[in-house]
Amino acid sequence: MNFEAKGIITAMVTPLTADYKIHEKGLRKLVNYMIDGGVHGLFVVGTSGEFYGFSPEQRRDAFQICIDEAKGRVPVYAGVNGITTAEAVGYAQMAEEAGADAISVLTPMFISVTQAELYQHYADIAASTKLPMLLYNNVGKTNVNIGVDTVVKLSKIKNIVGVKDSSGDFTLTSEYIRNTYQAEKPFYVLSGRDTLIHACLCYGGHGAITACANIAPRLMADIYDKYVSGDVAGSLEAQYRIAPVRMAFNLGSFPTILKESLELLGIDAGPCFAPVGPMSIESKELLKKALIQAGVLN
């Protein structure tokens, strides 16, 4: 399998109407904003995309809209998260039918599983589809961590091509890299923590799936593009510039920070699924200052 999971991949928000339907025009506009900004891929209906709020039919619609609008310019990664293996398998097959380029699978949430059960979960999903597949580790959201040994075992499966690590534990990220670096087939380790992208690249990682790219696609793409072109200092400068925006994520319930940032930039992303509400006036002012500090907003 020759698929390369690398670069800056936007963990896209899903624009919604006031009654929580997919805002198709807004979603298509956002796809083009990302691609015009230089990102290397789109990750749709993931955590930033509020996957938990959508019916199966709405997920399919979101996949199809993004795939149609991207028109092959960058790969589209479909989020196929589910609590049970059967649920994730169903979404994986849906993504394949829709024409996605790859899938990403979050660890099961709510339930606690052993590493052996987690291995089988991912192996069964991979066996259900021909698509390249990314593991998605986000222990802060699911309370389930993918151990290094489990990642190494899973990396041997033909269509499991990489892992996104949103743990924020760089020792864990670096161990994923170190233990798969000389694997029999390429295995791509991507940062899921926006403040650690440059560090991940320096350690031998391959890029990031990043929420901040919704807000500043060109700036986020610079972290990767400058690094691989040899401008390590320029990459680090871009990483430093985005830090105030990432630090502002605690000003509201996730992912409202992303949608309110887009609103400040003149892009209508609509509300988040209730109970997540809008930011306070005070918090929005602090967000605005962070965007100005990063050079994203004039």
- Residue whose C-alpha is closest to residue 29's, from 12, 41, 8, 4: 12
pLDDT higher than 80, residue 58: yes
Total count of residues recorded for the chain: 298
Summarize the confidence of residues 219-241 as an average pLDDT: 98
Q: What is the pLDDT at residue 54?
A: 97
Active site residue 164: yes
Of the chain, the percentage scoring pLDDT greater than 90 comes to 97
Of 91, 119, 136, 224, catalytic:
136
For the segment 127-163, what is each residue's pLDDT rounded down to a tens digit?
999 999 999 999 999 999 999 999 999 999 999 999 9
Compute the average pLDDT of residues 265-278: 95
Instruction: Dump pLDDT digits (tens) for 85-144.
Output: 999 999 999 999 999 999 999 999 999 999 999 999 999 999 999 999 999 999 999 999
Where on the phi/psi map is residue 6: left (φ > 0), alpha (ψ -120 to 50), or beta? beta
Is residue 222 pLDDT above 70, yes or no?
yes
Per the annotation, does 209 bind a ligand? yes
Is residue 298 very low, low, confident or very high in pLDDT (cuts 50, 70, 90)? confident
d(CA 280, CA 283): 5
Mean pLDDT of the chain: 96
**Interval 260-268 mean pLDDT:** 95
Name, in order, each residue with C-beta under 8 angstroms of 55's C-beta and a sequence gap of 6 or more: none
Tell which phi-psi region holds residue 50, choosing left (phi > 0), alpha (psi between -120 and 50) or beta.
Answer: left
Nearest to 46 by CA among 200, 182, 164: 164
DSSP character string of 205-227: --EEEESGGGT-HHHHHHHHHHH
Tokens of 189: 């380790």
pLDDT in tens, 34-44: 999 999 999 99
pLDDT tier at 1 (50, 70, 90 boundaries)? low
Q: Confirm if 269 and 259 have CB atoms less than 8 A apart.
A: yes
Domains of the chain: 7-242 (3.20.20.70)
pTM assigned to the model? 0.96
Give me the pLDDT at residue 184, please. Answer: 79
Catalytic residue (one of 164, 226, 259, 284): 164
* Bridge partner list, 162: 134, 188
What's the CA angle centered on 98, arms 93 and 99, to 5 degrees? Answer: 100
CA 115 centroid distance within chain: 23
Tens of pLDDT, residue by residue over 162-220, are 999 999 999 999 999 999 997 678 999 999 999 999 999 999 999 999 999 999 999 99
Nearest to 40 by CA among 69, 66, 74: 74
Give yes or no: 6 in active site.
no
The C-alpha atoms of residue 92 and residue 89 are separated, in whole angstroms, by: 5
